[in-house]
Amino acid sequence: MKRARLVGWKKTFLTRARVIRFATTNGDGTVHVVPVCPVMDGGVIYIGSDKSGRKMTNIRRRPRVGLVADHYVDTWKGLRGVAVAGRADVFTAGAVFERARRLLYRKYPQYERVAALDPSDSAVIRVTPSEVMSWRY
């Protein structure tokens, strides 16, 4: 898989994003889209998840995923966004899980209290970008 680099304003935009839309493909080929809280590290995007949700089932079947972060303004002056397609890898324990969990807790302090990521029932999804598209007006 070709790896696309997130650099410049695109990387900053995704790093600052508090909520993004995350898309996977259902077994019948339809798209499943949910809001998630991301954290960036080293050019990849991490999100936390319950081990048993639909997005996890979909990733196990088809690891190609997409995500969008955007900012809307009614005048359309200042519209901007970043869309990423890539591969999702799932971690349920180990060094990658622990690092991503620390990063998520640092960015979202409420995460640990409200929706703690525990290896017994949680996973971390790492998205490695293969395509990046952006817009800025």
pLDDT digits (tens, 9 = 90+) for 33-84: 999 999 999 899 999 999 998 999 999 999 999 999 999 999 889 899 999 9
The domain over range 8-136 is classified in CATH as 2.70.98.20: no
CB neighbours (10 Å) of residue 66? 19
Q: Sheet containing 80-91: which strands, arranged edge to edge? A: 31-36, 20-25, 64-71, 80-91, 122-136, 44-50, 38-41
Domain ranges of the chain: 8-136
- Is the Cβ–Cβ distance between 129 and 84 less than 8 Å? yes
Report if pTM > 0.75.
yes
